[in-house]
Amino acid sequence: KTKHQSLFANQTKMVGCVAFGCTNSSTKGFKVYSFPTDPERSKLWEIKVRRVGWKPTPHSKLCEVSVHYYVG
């Protein structure tokens, strides 16, 4: 292992929700979901996160609460 790998070997990867104002994350016990691969459904999720000018990345996630509340 490199020095860099050793420094981060024991850290848990935190996956947080991208919805505006949401602080839920996988480390807090919430399920998180990737954006849909279907372009129309992904666009709907993008609009519902309420972040002006924001675009999802392959790593963007919504928590179970946001998916239910914002997307339905």
pLDDT digits (tens, 9 = 90+) for 7-24: 555 455 668 999 888 899
Q: Is 5 part of any domain?
A: no
State how many domains the chain has: 1
pLDDT digits (tens, 9 = 90+) for 38-66: 999 999 888 888 888 999 999 999 888 87
Q: Is 51 part of any domain?
A: yes
Share of the chain above pLDDT 70, in %: 74
Q: Is 49 part of any domain?
A: yes
Q: Is 39 part of any domain?
A: yes
One-letter amino acid for residue 68 of the chain: H
Q: Is 7 part of any domain?
A: no
Q: Is 18 part of any domain?
A: yes
**What is the DSSP secondary-structure string of 12-52?**
PPP-B--STT---BGGGT--EEEPPSSHHHHHHHHHHT--T
Domain that holds residue 46: 13-71
